[in-house]
Amino acid sequence: MRKRLRKGAIGAVLMAVVLVAAACGSGDDADSGAKDGPTITIGSANFSESALVAEIYAQALEADGYPVDRNLNVGSREIYWQALQTGDLGLLPEYTGALLTFLGGTSSSDGEATYDALVNAAAAVDVVVFAPAPAQDKDGFAVTAETAEELGAEKVSDLAEYNDTLILGASPECPERPYCLLGLEDVYGLAFAEVKALDVGGPLTVAALEGGEIDVGQLFTSDGVIAAKGFVLLEDDKVLQPAQNVAPVLRKEIADAYGADLRNRLDAVSEVLTTQELILLNKAVGADGEDPETVATDWLAENNLT
């Protein structure tokens, strides 16, 4: 015959169960508000601004409890886009006009129209584009102050007078890009004596420009090094470059897994990322030599995003 437990014994057993359950529920995950869902692997292109913006998005998500991994400086768009498609990456910062062109669309200087077209093009390949930041970073072409004075150059079109005599330093992909060498040839009628494959907007390009190894360097218009080095950014007077707002792009499965909360979190970060803010962030890392992770942490704190 089964023995009956006394009322006191029953109460003791129930209390023990409650205490164990409470202990199991009082771990770090519960206290930190960790999100339940797939890990978001955040990637970037292989230049400092892309990696810095990716770090900003990563820290903002971590602060809100999202599980995050990093795989920064993956490579060119051809490489990191493939990683996004295969699921090796889940999120990365992009530039609206450049990505739309890459996906076969037609970008323009109209930021809203370019974004809307990008949303549709990305959806066709199961990629979601969240709201763009006001910040834009376009491809630009710069010369030293001495070269600008010597050539009398203020605009990109001014370089045509010196066709077949100047050396352009640019990304390895520049000769095949419509907004780089192809556009300079077709829109501006430029011809260079040589095109050196360097690191777009990176230390190789900056050093080559400073050292006189190239006459014209492909830099990003939000690059803090332009002001720090006294370079002259040539005006894109024939409007070769399309709108290039920074925007986070995600695999659809990641966006669907977290829904509106994830979108709202990233939108809040993008909303305060202006071009001027981007220039200052780039200057802190590229010109002042500050640690990118620390720069990202400080910027998020200053904008009450952590």
What is the DSSP annotation of 98-118? HHHHHTT----S-HHHHHHHH
Closest CA to 197 of 221, 183, 214: 214
pLDDT of residue 4: 36
- Using CA atoms, how far apart are residues 208 and 43, in angstroms rounded to an integer? 28
Q: Which residues of the chain have pLDDT under 50?
A: 1-31
pLDDT of residue 193: 98
pLDDT tens digits along 271-283: 999 988 998 999 8
pLDDT of residue 279: 87
Please state the separation of Cα 92 from the chain's center in Å: 6
pLDDT of residue 24: 44
**For the chain, which domains are there?**
36-136+243-302 (3.40.190.10), 139-233 (3.40.190.120)
pLDDT of residue 178: 87
pLDDT of residue 223: 87
Q: Over pLDDT 70: what percentage of the chain?
A: 90
Q: What is the pTM of this model?
A: 0.74
pLDDT of residue 3: 36
pLDDT tens digits along 8-59: 444 444 344 334 344 444 444 434 578 999 999 999 999 889 999 999 999 9
| Strand 139-143 relative to strand 216-220, pairing | antiparallel
